[in-house]
Amino acid sequence: MIKKPQEKGQALIIIAFAAVALFAITALAIDGSRLFADKRRAQNAADSAVLAGALAYTRGNDILVAVNERVASNGFDNNGTTNFVTVTETDIPAESSGCPQDSVGKEITVTITSTINTTFARVIRRNTLTSAVTATSRSCGFYQASLFGGNAIVGLNPNNNSCAFDSGNSNAAHWTLKGGGIFSNGCAYSKNNSSVTLDPDACVTAVGVTSNFTCQQPNQTSQAVSYPADVQKVMPENPCDGTPGDVGLPQPASGSTFANGVYCISDLDKYDKKDIVLQNATLYVTDMNFNLKFAGSGGFSGTATKSGDYAGYYMIVALKNPPCPTFTSQNSQVIVLRGNSGGTFSGTILAPSACIDVRGNGEPSGIHTQIIGYNVTSNGNAEVYVNFKEEENHQDPVFPTITLLK
C-alpha cells in the first residue's frame, strides 16, 4: 500500500510565511501611520518655528532662542537621540531680497529630523523609522516709504474730464523733474513730447489716458486711488482741532517765518505776496477757502519739520468736500506754487483737495518737494524745476512682513 506524503510540515511553513507577511502589513499600517503622524507634527513644528524666528528678527530678538523655544513647545527638544533640530540664517542683500522697496531681508530655515521606535516592524528588523522635514521663512525688515509710490507729482482727481495732471496750454512752462515720476489718478496731459523732461528711469503713470509724454503708462486701473477714502487714510491727524495733546501752534499775528513746530493756519490768504519761510516747521492749513497766488511777488522757501508725526511735511491742507474743480475756481483751495528769491524749499505738500499751479522757481537745483494735489497744473511760462529728494520729504513707516516660503 502506498501512503500519501505527510503535509503537516508544509502547512507550518506556509503559516509561518503568512504570519511574517501579516506582521509586515500590520507594521506598514500601524508603524507607518505613526511615522506619518510624527512627520506631520514635525512639519507643523518647523513651520511654527520659522515664523517665530522671523518675528524675532523683526523685533531685534535672538532668532535661535525663539526657534528652539517654539520647537520644544511642540515636543522636539533637539536631544540628539530621537530628534535633531538645525537652524540656518541667511542674510539677503537689499537688491535681491524680494522684499518691498528692496529692504534688507533674512531667510530662516529649520530642519527637524525625528526618529520613532517601531512596534510591529521589528519583525522585519526595523527597530526605528526616521523622517525629516524642512520649513523656510522670509522676513522683510522695517523701512520708510514715500507717499503714493514715491512719485514727485501726484494728481488725485479721478475724473477724466479734467486731467489730474496738466502741463498747461501752448504757452506753459517746460517741466524738468528729477528723483521721481508723475502719477495721475485720472488722465494726464502734456502740450507736447518735449514739455516734460523726466529721469531715464521715471515715467508718467495714469489710471486713465495719457497724452504727449516720452514715457507714459496709461490705463493703470490697478493703481487707482479711491478718492477720498484712500486719501483720508494717509492724512495726518489734525493738530489744531482742540483734542488734548494737540501740538499745533497758533497762527502768528504777524510775520511769515515759522520755526520749530507745527503751525495751525486758518487764514492762508494772509501770506499772499509774502515770502513764506519755514525753519524746521510745518504748516497745517485748516482754511477751506483760499487763493494764494502771490501776484508776482513772494513764495515758499525753507525746510520742513525733521522729526515726529509731521516729519517731512512742508504743508498739509485739510481735506475739503467738494474738492477744487479748476485753477480759476472761486470759494475753493487754490495755490500758485512758486519758490521765492531766498532759495529752494523741501518737504511734502499734501493738499489733496486743492488745485496747485506750479510756476517757475528760477533755480535749476529745483524745489526738493513732493507735490500732492487734486489737480496739478502749470499755467505760467517760466521753467519749472522739481528735484524730489525722498529723504527730505515725508515717509510713512512700513512695518515688517513675514512670509512662509516652504
Tell me: the pLDDT tens digits for 333-353? 999 887 766 678 899 999 999
CA atoms of 207 and 140, how far apart (whole Å): 29
Residues 179 and 118 in one domain: no
Is the pLDDT at 259 greater than 90, yes or no? yes
Residues 115 and 188 in one domain: no
Task: Give the whole-number percent of the chain exceeding pLDDT 90.
Answer: 56
CA atoms of 289 and 354, how far apart (whole Å): 10
Residues 170 and 243 in one domain: yes
Last residue of a domain, one of 75, 107, 141: 141
Q: Higher pLDDT residue, 400 or 371?
A: 371
Predicted pLDDT at 101: 58
CA atoms of 322 and 337, how far apart (whole Å): 21
Residues 164 and 312 in one domain: yes
- Average of pLDDT values for 199-228? 94
Residues 168 and 67 in one domain: no
Residues 183 and 248 in one domain: yes
Residues 85 and 181 in one domain: no
* 343 φ/ψ angles, rounded to the nearest 5 degrees: 135, -170
174, 382 in Cβ contact below 8 A? Answer: no
Q: CA 393 from chain center: how many Å?
A: 16
Is the pLDDT at 265 greater than 80, yes or no? yes
Residues 214 and 358 in one domain: yes
Domain membership flag for residue 357:
yes
Residues 124 and 150 in one domain: no
CA atoms of 324 and 352, how far apart (whole Å): 9
* Number of domains comprising the chain: 2
Last residue of a domain, one of 119, 141, 163: 141
Residues 89 and 105 in one domain: yes
Domain membership flag for residue 1:
no
Residues 356 and 390 in one domain: yes
327 three-class SS: coil
Predicted pLDDT at 161: 81
Using a cut of 0.75, tell me whether the model's pTM lies above it. no
Residues 93 and 197 in one domain: no
- Kind of pairing, strands 401-404 and 196-197? unpaired
Domain membership flag for residue 108:
yes
**Domain that residue 159 falls in:** 145-397
Last residue of a domain, one of 112, 141, 170: 141
Q: CA 30 from chain center: how many Å?
A: 50
Predicted pLDDT at 92: 79
Domain membership flag for residue 123:
yes
173 DSSP 8-state letter:
P
CA atoms of 236 and 321, how far apart (whole Å): 17
**Element counts in the chain: helices (H) and strands (E):** 3, 25
